[in-house]
Amino acid sequence: MNTLEFLLNGFSVALQWQNLLFAFFGVLIGTAVGVLPGIGPMSGVALLIPITATLTSGLDPQSAAASAIILLAGVYYGAMYGGSTTSILLNTPGESSSVVTALDGYQMAKQGRAGAALSISAIGSFVAGIVSLIGLTLLAKPLSALALSFGPAEYFSLMLLGLCAVSGLAGNSITKAMIMTVFGLLLATIGMDNVSGVSRFTYNNANLYSGLEFLTVAVGLFALGEVFRTIIDRDKENSNVTKVGKILPTKQDMKDSTAPIVRGSLLGFFIGVLPGAGATLASFFSYIAEKKLSKNPEKFGRGAIEGVAAPESANNGASGGAMIPLLTMGIPGSGTTAILMGALIMYNVQPGPLLFTDHPQVAWGLIASMFIGNLMLLVLNMPLVKVFAKVIETPAKYLLPIIIAISIFGVYAVQFNTFDLALLLICGLLGYALSKHDYPVAPLVLALVLGPMIENNMRRALTASNGDFSVFLTSPVSLIFLIIALLWIGIPLLMKMKGRSVLVNEEG
């Protein structure tokens, strides 16, 4: 079967009525998550895992996994659409990848062009979504074929590269990011060792035998951490929402933003594919590129539509691109994709090269559903922009306690014990304290997900080589990965030593 046939099969999965419904709710909730302050794509996806788990409990394992991942991915890219709304109308980005959008978007809103800015960002997001999906479709087969040829040594080095890339770009201090990564890997060793069956660091506590539950930690660190931060650091002024005004962009707007949208999509896609460099970096970068390319750069910051179109396309392109390493190699490149990977593992679906042969229903169903979901978002966002603008006015008073209640409900519904709830609250505190002091939590979650796999591959490689560590250096592919990993950490360090500030990816 060729790619097109697989894709058509994927569409037959994605067009089943329950999956259409899942995709619809995914993108709808995602847009709301992007709009609401205090809840970002990472916590949104983490919070919805338990809910999808209960919704899909009646289905057979394969279709349950497909439906669940369709919904969760919908939340992920839906949030990219929604994030722009608050940037433009309120000058407060709903999530970090829309920070740059606020620069010109809010200015446009002040000039009464909010509707045009919102619809251009929806159109840009749509184009970027489709571009990155075409890329994903074309690259899926060759990349997974390549990854299939890797042995344990190569896999170990590749995962190490993934971790280094994420910690190299997360936060201002690489030391802190590395500490979080290593800490996450250590937490991953708690529980029954699945090679030898020996229990490690469990101290006869029955709750620890299966290890720290990834879901609990992720919901605690991201969702609760964010809510706690909003409660503590919230400013109490009420900001005014700008009126949306006329929705359709003018012909001139369309003409001005076509090229930035195309450039932003491509740039975003390629940045998204790189591990570690997520949507925030992509949007940032495309803004800089547009400013550089523009004939009159002084327009930027004063309501240039290019400054809205390019970053909004880029962040959506990046979120599509980020699915590539996750699906084809099983290496998540960011916090959100790490959570998606954790969700797939919960359904006994291992992302990676075998995903496309073992679970074509899941892999291609997801890809096809993303085409549909992007179309839904475009259709939803153009007329409903005013409705979503209303969502911003949800009072924090009701929102924050309800998010806490949903976190607790979600964890309890999946885990059925108070131990995990206690762990959840502790992780919430940790998430707040750590991210407040610039310790990035995304690498920790990534390490927690990748930890068992890194260890297994390392031990399989070492067992095959009789404990000889040079096996990681003698395989050329593995050596290349390790060198890149080293450079990834080393170059920013060098640049910092030269006194240059380095852009970091705050979304993770």
Toward another protein, which CB reaches closer, 32 or 281?
Answer: 281
Q: What are phi and psi of 294, to 5 degrees?
A: -65, 150
Residue 282 CB, nearest approach to another protein (Å): 10
Toward another protein, which CB reaches closer, 196 or 240?
Answer: 196
Toward another protein, which CB reaches closer, 17 or 398?
Answer: 398
Q: 207, 190 in Cβ contact below 8 A?
A: no
- Which residues are paired to 191 by β-bridges? 200
Please report which residue ranges of 250-391 form alpha helices under DSSP H: 251-273, 279-293, 306-321, 323-324, 335-346, 355-358, 360-391
Q: Please name the residue that has the structure tokens 């369309």.
A: 254
Contacts of 474 (CB under 8 A, 6+ apart): none
Cα 402 to chain center, whole Å? 23
Toward another protein, which CB reaches closer, 201 or 209?
Answer: 201
Query: Residue 328 has which token pair?
Result: 């084809």
Q: What are phi and psi of 329, to 5 degrees?
A: -120, -10
Length of the chain as a residue count:
508
Residue 425 CB, nearest approach to another protein (Å): 6
Nearest to 262 by CA among 213, 217, 313: 313
Toward another protein, which CB reaches closer, 115 or 211?
Answer: 211
Residue 46 CB, nearest approach to another protein (Å): 17
Residue 254 CB, nearest approach to another protein (Å): 27
Toward another protein, which CB reaches closer, 347 or 481?
Answer: 481
Toward another protein, which CB reaches closer, 350 or 460?
Answer: 460
Residue 170 CB, nearest approach to another protein (Å): 13
Residue 118 CB, nearest approach to another protein (Å): 22
Nearest to 82 by CA among 37, 116, 115: 37
Q: 97, 301 in Cβ contact below 8 A?
A: no
Residue 388 CB, nearest approach to another protein (Å): 21
The DSSP result for 96-115, as a single string, is GGGHHHHHHHHHHHHTT-HH
Please report, for residues 172, 443, 491, 499, the alpha-carbon distance to residue 495 in angstroms, rounded to integers and kept in the order given: 13, 22, 6, 7
Query: Residue 105 has which token pair?
Result: 């978007």
Q: How far apart are CA 86 and CA 385, in angstroms?
A: 11
Q: How far apart are CA 15 and CA 375, in angstroms?
A: 13
Residue 375 CB, nearest approach to another protein (Å): 28
Residue 485 CB, nearest approach to another protein (Å): 11
Residue 433 CB, nearest approach to another protein (Å): 8
Toward another protein, which CB reaches closer, 186 or 379?
Answer: 186
Toward another protein, which CB reaches closer, 247 or 396?
Answer: 396
Q: 447, 188 in Cβ contact below 8 A?
A: yes
Rounded to 10 deg, the angle between the 3-14 and 61-90 helix axes is: 80
Exposed, middle or buried: residue 484 (CB in 10 Å: 0-12, 13-18, 19+)? middle
Toward another protein, which CB reaches closer, 285 or 347?
Answer: 285
Toward another protein, which CB reaches closer, 248 or 433?
Answer: 433
Residue 330 CB, nearest approach to another protein (Å): 17
